[in-house]
Structure 1
Amino acid sequence: MNLRLFFSLVGASVLLAAFAHYFTDNEFFQFATSALAIIFLAAWLGKSTESVAHYAGDRIGGFLNATFGNAAELIIAFFLVKEGLFDMVKASITGAIIGNMLLVLGLSVLLGGLKYKEQNFNSRLAGHNASLMTLAIVALFIPAVFMRELAPVKIETLSIVIAILLIVAYILWLIFSMITHSDFLSDIEPHESEAVWSKGVSIVMLAVSTVFVAVVSEWLVHGVQHVSHSLGWSELFVGAFVIAIIGNAAEHSAALLLAMKGRIGAAVEIAIGSSLQIALFVAPTLVLVSLLLGNPMDIVFTPFELAAIGVATFITISITKDGATNWFEGVLLLTVYIILGTAFFFA
């Protein structure tokens, strides 16, 4: 798409969302325009991170794509925590994890597989990703099991301990994967001949798009509760699928483009790396942030959410463990996502 046309669409969507937020009382219109603006802003953020990744290399580039792609989810979740909507926060975390592993990765594998019969990526990286996701499931499973046996204050303390341990584990994983063992986990894939912008402009674009995502995310949160009630949707479904799909827009755009260019390793790094970042860093960080806000949130997830994360992790590990993908494996991932979405809708 022509850059001038693209930024015209971004500007128009943000102005429409601002008009709805400041000059109308229709909360459904406010939510719809904010969601539209978030999607366009996430595409801008994704394009910026892809340009930065051109200068930073595959591993760091994939990490930056995942990190700034998760900016929308983190910012939206922060405002949800501030409003005390903990059930929706946990649902959005669940949705972001399964959305990246099933929807983003599924679409990337499917569309990339339609162009290339088989695409390969680092199988060692797939093995480490599997171990890290298993750690995340264990960390989320334990508080849910002990919830009935422990007093609320002890559950709160357990949540804090787990949150700190997960953050430490994630930081050590970054050191392991990007410093001490980076040569074992890298992929050699074709790069585009040139980036969209220069290095300096790419960094500025990344920062500005993130600021706009923060502003519009606050507008989105104001209307989400009214919309969920008026449509009869549960907070579980809204958080796990509606907000998560909107927040995942950046990963969608970046991962899909990379997969269709034959860079499935970078697409896998964005999709699975993003899920890992949410489970091991974003969710624990929100627990600690809630303490600073004076309204502590525990890390106890519902059986529905734990089942969804467990199922998504199981099939993702099964499909990626050999370091090769094809279009049919993308279909399998998307099928599981639709099954979970239907179940959450009726829950």
Structure 2
Amino acid sequence: MATNNLQMAGINSHLEMGALEGRSTLEFEDESLASPGPFSNKTSSLDAAPNRFFFDDGSEDFGCRCICKSVLRSIAVVFFTNKLNLLLPCGPLAILVDKLTKHDGWVFLLSLLGIIPLAERLGWATEQLASYTGSTVGGLLSATFGNATELIISMYALKSGMLRVLQQSLLGSILSNMLLVLGCSFFAGGIVHSNKEQVFDKATAIMNSGLLLMAVMGLLFPAVLHFTHTELHFGKSELALSRFSSCIMLVAYGAYLFFQLTSNRNAYSPVKEEESQNDGSSGDEEAPEISKCGSIIWLFILTVWISVLSEYLVNAIEGASVSLNIPVSFISVILLPIVGNAAEHAAAVMFAMKDKLDISLGVAIGSSTQISMFGIPFCVVVGWIMGRPMDLNFQLFETATLFMTVLVVAFMLQEGTSNYFKGLMLLFCYLIVAASFFVHIDPKSIQDKPSKP
């Protein structure tokens, strides 16, 4: 009986082991069919082996196809995602008209229109690159390349000896940012958010206002020295003072950048934090559309193309002034800056309508600060190197206009709040400035006498 019991126990255990073994086999087969387990990975690796072998001989062709697809996608994103790109053909048309007809009026207008989408794409490429560099460096990159169009036009004007066009275009860029861009931002934001008073960082605005007043001081003293005839060495002291003051202003701007990157690292970070808090999908919206390398390549291409058109634009200003019967001062102070800042204008207004006034002020006041504390002194130093007598004497009319503009904007910013009425007042001030330069003409003694290099 004991033997029989042992035999029966062995048979039962054998049957149980077989059942368990069969169940585990079935479960393994089911899992291999339902989910990608180790077995499926082995199968896929076996299936992939012939494919790898197939591409061994043509791996270079496969890599070329990937590169071509990436390049085509980048081109499509750059050229077919913005309606302003409809103006891109105006650039080649300007060159064609210049070669065939030499009609300066049409060359100027076509070049002006052709630069608008390029300036917008340059700002877009800068934003793409800034998304890889962090908030602080990205903000500084945006501010720098945002003024690239004006600086390129200024370099060509300096090279051609058109110093008054250079001075007035830089002055116009400051006036445009401080009155037109800021005025539109305050007005649009105030209309959209009429039920409340918009606020912004008063400390940053006051700091930028102080830098702008320092720039006014740098421009004021050479002009006063000239018009009071109190130069120690006539014709030399004014230029020497301008060059010394320019070096001081560049050092001051360098110290300002150092302060932003070290002691005030959060100057641009609230922008990112506010977007992430207010909009849950901001991460998707801020994802870069092109790679870091692609951003750098497009920055280079767009800068070169803007440089080409800027040369045609600057060379056609004098002829366009005659053919269109518009003063050169109006073209330099009003038309050129509006074109160069077109993309920034739209961006600042859009952010103000989203109740993000700190970003709008960064675009408007930040760009004005950079032009006044870096762009103008930089042109003076470059002119010094090139042997051009570029100085900080912007003449009495232009210096007084800048001084009054900085005072008005400083008073508007001192409370740290904005509304649509403040924006309306800034816009009215800009209309007065535009009308003033439409009836203003330089004396013949200081008018440009362009010299071909």
**TM-score, shorter chain, exceeding 0.5:** yes
Quickly say closer, same or farther: Cα 1:302–1:158, change in 2 above 3 A.
same
Q: 1:4 offset after TM fit, Å?
A: 1.4
Match of residue 242 from structure 2: 159
Matching residue within 360, 363, 367 for 1:267: 360
* Residue number in structure 2 paired with 1:322: 415
SS of the residue corresponding to residue 275 of structure 2 reads: coil
- Is 1:77 the equivalent of 2:158? no
User: For residues 104 and 314 of structure 1, what CA distance do their matches in structure 2 show?
Assistant: 17
Classify the secondary structure of the residue corresponding to 2:236. helix
Alignment match, 2:401: 308
Query: How far is 1:12 from its partner?
Result: 2.2
Higher relative contact order (CA 8 A, sep 6+): 1
Superposed CA offset, 1:256-312 (max 9, x none): 333233322111111111111111111111111112222221110111111211121
Aligned to 1:236: 329
Q: Which residue of 1 aligns with 2:434?
A: 341
Q: Secondary structure at the match of 1:152?
A: coil
Say whether the 8 Å CA contact 1:109–1:325 is kept in structure 2: yes
Return 9-18 or 166-175, whichever deviates more: 9-18
User: What TM-score do you get using the length of structure 1 for normalisation?
Assistant: 0.92
Query: Of residues 98, 113, 131 in structure 1, which corresponds to 2:210?
Result: 131
Q: Which residue of 2 aligns with 1:168?
A: 251
Provide the C-alpha distance between the structure 2 equivalents of 1:199 and 1:116, rounded to a whole number of angstroms: 37
Residue 142 in 1 paired to residue 224 in 2? no
- Asked if 1 retains the 8 angstrom alpha-carbon contact of 2:136 and 2:266, the reply is no
Comparing 157-166 and 236-245, the one that deviates more: 236-245
Counting matched residue pairs gives 346
Q: 1:107 to 1:32 in 2, by over 3 A?
A: same
The yes-or-no answer on 1:89 pairing with 2:166 is yes
CA RMSD of aligned residues (A): 2.2
Query: Is the 8 Å Cα contact of residues 165 and 332 (structure 2) preserved in structure 1?
Result: yes
- In the TM superposition, 1:96-107 aligns within 5 A as 96-107=173-184
1:253-264 alignment, distance < 5 Å: 253-264=346-357
Output the amino acid matched with 2:162: L
Task: Name the amino acid aligned to 1:178.
Answer: L
State the match for 2:140 in structure 1: 63
Evaluate the alpha carbon distance shift between residue 236 and residue 10 of structure 1 in structure 2; reply closer, same or farther with a 3 A threshold.
closer
1:74-93 deviation line (CA, Å, top 9, x unaligned): 11111111111111211111
Q: 1:183 aligns with which of 260, 266, 287?
A: 266
What one-letter code is carried by the residue in structure 2 that aligns with 1:177? Q
State the distance in 1 between where 2:141 and 2:189 align: 21
In the alignment, which residue of structure 1 is the partner of 2:375? 282
* Aligned-pair CA distance for 1:184: 6.6
The verdict on how the C-alpha distance between 1:170 and 1:214 changes in structure 2, with shifts beyond 3 A counting, is same
Gaps of 5+ in 2: 1-76, 277-281, 441-453
The amino acid across from 1:313 in the alignment is V
Q: Distance in 2 between matches of 1:159 and 1:139?
A: 8
Between stretches 21-30 and 121-130, larger displacement belongs to 21-30
Q: Which residue of 2 aligns with 1:4?
A: 80
| Structure possessing the higher radius of gyration over alpha carbons | 2
Residue pair 1:45, 1:250 contacting (<8 A) in 2 also: no
